[in-house]
Amino acid sequence: MDCANEIVSGPIGKQRVHYEAPPRSRLERELKRFVDWFSAPPADVDGPLRAGVAHAWFVLIHPFNDGNGRVGRALLDRALAQDEDRSVRLYSLSTRSVAVRNEYYDALQALSHGTLDATDLLR
């Protein structure tokens, strides 16, 4: 598969591929769809739900060789700040995502290989 990147974990030589990104040929189109949605989400979307979906969507697009998780978490925090009608948040969910890293990767893998039901990832 002509992919942008893979999410892997584990010691060197025993790494496990959790996710393979969409083909590079779809990257620009997928990023445009995401940015358009993030910039003007439907009015009836719950704020925290929008934040979680934005994180999941960006990480699934996986446009960078490195840093997709960090950017995805920044988007999560930005969307939550927007929901709170603030320019920034004084706290971040990054600490929580590190604490449940294995569960996060398992949920991401299930999301990317299944029906795109983000329920487990959002939990």
User: For the segment 31-69, what is each residue's pLDDT rounded down to a tens digit?
Assistant: 999 999 999 988 899 999 999 999 999 988 988 888 888
Model pLDDT, residue 7: 52
For 35-99, list the strands marked E by DSSP.
Answer: none
52 vs 89, residue with greater confidence = 52
Report how far residue 52's alpha carbon sits from residue 93's, in angstroms, rounded to the nearest whole number. 11
Residue 50 CA to residue 84 CA, distance in Å, equals 12
For 41, counting Cβ atoms within 10 Å of its Cβ (0-12 exposed, 13-18 middle, 19+ buried), the class is: middle
Q: What is the pLDDT of residues 59-83, one digit of tens each?
A: 889 888 888 888 998 999 999 999 9
CA distance 117 to 123: 12
What H or E segment, with its residue span, contains residue 20?
A: strand 16-20
Domains of the chain: 6-122 (1.10.3290.10)
Q: Is the pLDDT of residue 6 over 60?
A: no
